[in-house]
Chains A and B, each alone.
Chain A
C-alpha cells in the first residue's frame, strides 16, 4: 500500500472552504484515495474516495491531480463541527485493510 503525507495541522475560519492536501507520490494505478475523519473519541467516519476523476458528495469534494501523486479534500463551508483529524488513505482496489497515517488535525475557528 502506498504511503501518504499530510500536514500535521491546519486552521480554517468558520464558513470558509477548508482545503486539505495529501501527497501520495508512490500510488499505483489500481489504488484508490480515501478520506476519513475522526472526531475526538469517536470512530473514523468515511468522507469520500476516488480513483482518478474528481468526486463530490454531500460532505466534500475530492480533487486528484492528473498524475495522481497528490489530492486535495475540500470542505466547501467549514463549520465548527468539522473540527477533527482528517486521514488520507491509499487503498488497493481489492478492498481490505486501511493503512492510517498521522492525519491532519483541522481546527475550525469562529
Chain B
C-alpha cells in the first residue's frame, strides 16, 4: 500500500507569490491534516479535513487555506508569501479523525521563500 504522497518535495518562491501544495492520502483514508515545521516554532497544526469538510483549524492567518476533494486528496494554499513561511509542510492521513486512529505522515514539502 502506498504511503502518504506530497508534491512537490521542494519549492522555491519569492515574497508576495502564492503557492499550492498537494497531498494524496493512503488509499481508504478519509482524513487529511496539515502541519508546519520550522526550527523556531517546531511542529504546528494548520488544519484538518474529513470528508471534504474542515474539521479543525490551527492558529494561522487567513493567508493559509486548504481544501479536500471527493477522492480525499487535499491541497493547501498560502497566498502573499512571507519570508517566515519558509518551512517544511507536512501532511498526515488517517481513516477516521474521530477515533484514536494513528496518523501517517508524508515526507513533506520543503518551501523556501526568498
Contact = CB atoms under 8 A, between A and B. Distances in A.
Interface of A: 32, 34, 41-46, 49, 87, 91, 93-103
A86 to B, nearest CB: 13
B96 A95 contact: yes
Given A42-B107, A43-B92, A97-B33, A49 B102 contact: yes
B97 A96 contact: yes
A95 B98 contact: yes
A78 to B, nearest CB: 22
B102 A100 contact: no
Closest CB pairs A-B (n = 3) = A43-B105, A100-B43, A46-B102
Dominant SS among interface residues on chain A: loop
Q: Which of A34, A93, A96, A102 has the most CB of B within 10 A?
A: A96
B81 interface: no
B106 interface: yes
Given A97-B33, A97-B48, A46 B103 contact: yes
Contacts of A98: 35, 43, 45, 103
Interface in B82-106: 88, 90, 92, 94, 96-106
A43 B56 CA distance: 21
Nearest to B33: A97
A102 B41 CA distance: 9
B11 to A, nearest CB: 15
Contact of A43 (B48, B58, B98, B108): B108
26 contacts: A41-B108, A43-B90, A43-B106, A44-B43, A44-B90, A44-B103, A44-B105, A46-B104, A49-B102, A93-B100, A95-B94, A95-B96, A95-B98, A96-B48, A96-B55, A96-B56, A96-B98, A97-B58, A98-B35, A98-B103, A99-B45, A100-B35, A100-B42, A101-B42, A102-B42, A103-B42
